[in-house]
Each structure stands twice: as C-alpha cells, then as structure tokens.
C-alpha cells in the first residue's frame, strides 16, 4: 500500500492523506488526478447570483411593507410596475408611483400635531407660532382680508371658522392658492378637518388666532 499526501491549498497547510493499494505507476496517476480535482473544486468561484430585474410586476396582489419584518403600508395589484432598488435575501426593496385624491392626504409632518386649544394659542402667542395643529372646525365663510386684520396680508383669502371642537372660538385660516378652489366649494356650517400651522396665536385688533392652511377635508 502507498500513501500519498495531497494538498488542496496553495500554502500546503491543508494536507489530505490518500491511501492507495494499486500498483505504483497507477498510484501516481490516480494521486495526481485526485489532487488536481480537489484543488479545482476548492478554487472554483461561487456561481454568481442571478441579476435583479430593474422593473417587476407582482404575480398576485401583494402587501408593500416598511421592511422585510415591518408592517404593511399599502397593497399593490398585478397591474403595478415596481422599480427594484435593492435586494436582501428573498426580499426586494421597490419604489412605485401613483395618484391619490388631494383631500385624502395631509402633510407628512402632521402625523403628530400639537394638542393645543385656541385658548392656548392666545395665552402664548409667541410660543405657539409655527406649531402644527389638526382641528375639527365649523366653516362660517370665505373672506378676503382687509387692512384692519393685522395678522393677514391685505387681499389674502381666509376662512372664518369656529373651533376647535366644542371650544367654538373664532379663527382666521389663511388659504393658499392651491387650496382656494376647495375652500370656495365648502358650504356654510360644514364640518371640516384642517391641518394648519400657527401664524399668530393672537392678532390685532381683537386677538383672533391666525393659521396657515396646509390641508382640508370634510369631516365624515
């Protein structure tokens, strides 16, 4: 019996004994063949991962999640086109586009608005400036500001509303051009949900709070 020491590593530290009982000439040929195959198997590069398509379509309605183990945020159907941004094992990070009704959304920073009343605004006019509120109010009328209302720009459209909720304080809500059409369509005494930023906690001459409207929707 002949023993051949075979190395499969370039530094010869990984030595594998091979015991052969065949004739010497055949032993040498077999040993060289075994060693060569072992070295090739170790040095062979791993198979490359299949390329990720740039755009994919769901094979069935699926849930869009914040992360592989995260909560669902939306549901996409088989007609959606998803742009692939990255891959993590069996999960793809994707991006898609679409349209939503403007009245169904609010600014992204309005998820946790300040819990303040109109009285809080008047009590701390300087400290409340710039704070975000989400209030339910009752629409009274749409007006155009005059020079007497110091918290508004002359000629600026604003809603006169009462609220928030049962407080029923008078409020001036300045309306930007992008929301003016919606404000004009509101009927008197309609219940509204507004997201607004405080411009002044109290304004001259009678201390009415002034807010800048960011989002507007009918209260269901």
What's the average model confidence in pLDDT over 44-65?
77
User: Percent of the chain scored above 70 by pLDDT?
Assistant: 70
CB distance 199 to 214 below 8 Å: no
* pLDDT over 90 at 180, yes or no: yes
What's the average model confidence in pLDDT over 183-188?
94
Average pLDDT taken over every residue of the chain: 80
- Please state the φ and ψ torsions of residue 109, each to the nearest 5 degrees: -90, 10
Cα dihedral sign, 112-118-123-127: positive
pLDDT of the residue at 38: 56
What's the average model confidence in pLDDT over 137-152?
93
- Of the two residues 151 and 36, the one the predictor is more confident about is 151
* pLDDT over 80 at 169, yes or no: yes
What's the average model confidence in pLDDT over 45-64?
77
Domain ranges of the chain: 2-43, 55-95, 108-218
Q: List the beta strands (DSSP E) in 89-218.
A: 91-95, 132-144, 157-163, 169-174, 191-203, 208-218
Domain 108-218 -> CATH class = mainly beta
* pLDDT over 80 at 101, yes or no: no
What's the average model confidence in pLDDT over 29-33?
54
What's the average model confidence in pLDDT over 189-201?
94
Q: Tell me how many degrees the CA angle 26-27-31 measures, rounded to the nearest 5.
A: 115
The model's confidence at residue 116, banded by pLDDT at 50, 70 and 90, is: confident
The model's confidence at residue 192, banded by pLDDT at 50, 70 and 90, is: very high
């Amino acid at each position: 019996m002949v023993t051949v020491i075979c190395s499969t590593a370039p530094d010869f530290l990984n030595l594998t004994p091979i015991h052969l009982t065949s004739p010497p000439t055949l032993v040498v040929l077999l040993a060289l063949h075994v060693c060569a195959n072992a070295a090739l198997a170790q040095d062979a590069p791993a198979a490359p991962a299949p390329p990720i398509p740039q755009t994919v379509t769901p094979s069935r309605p699926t849930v869009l999640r914040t992360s592989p183990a995260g909560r669902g945020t939306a549901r996409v159907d088989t007609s959606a086109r998803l742009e692939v941004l990255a891959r993590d094992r069996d999960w793809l990070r994707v991006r898609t586009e679409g349209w939503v009704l403007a009245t169904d959304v609010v600014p992204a920073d309005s998820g946790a608005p300040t819990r303040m009343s109109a009285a809080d605004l008047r009590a701390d006019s300087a400290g409340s400036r710039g704070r975000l509120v989400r209030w339910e109010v009752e629409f009274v009328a749409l007006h155009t500001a005059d020079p007497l209302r110091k918290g508004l720009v002359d000629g600026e459209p604003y809603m006169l509303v009462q609220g928030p909720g049962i407080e029923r304080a008078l409020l001036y809500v300045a309306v930007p051009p992008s929301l003016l059409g919606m404000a004009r369509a509101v009927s008197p005494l309609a219940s509204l949900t507004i997201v607004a930023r405080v411009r002044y906690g109290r304004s001259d001459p009678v201390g009415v709070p002034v807010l800048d409207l960011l989002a507007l929707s009918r209260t269901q």
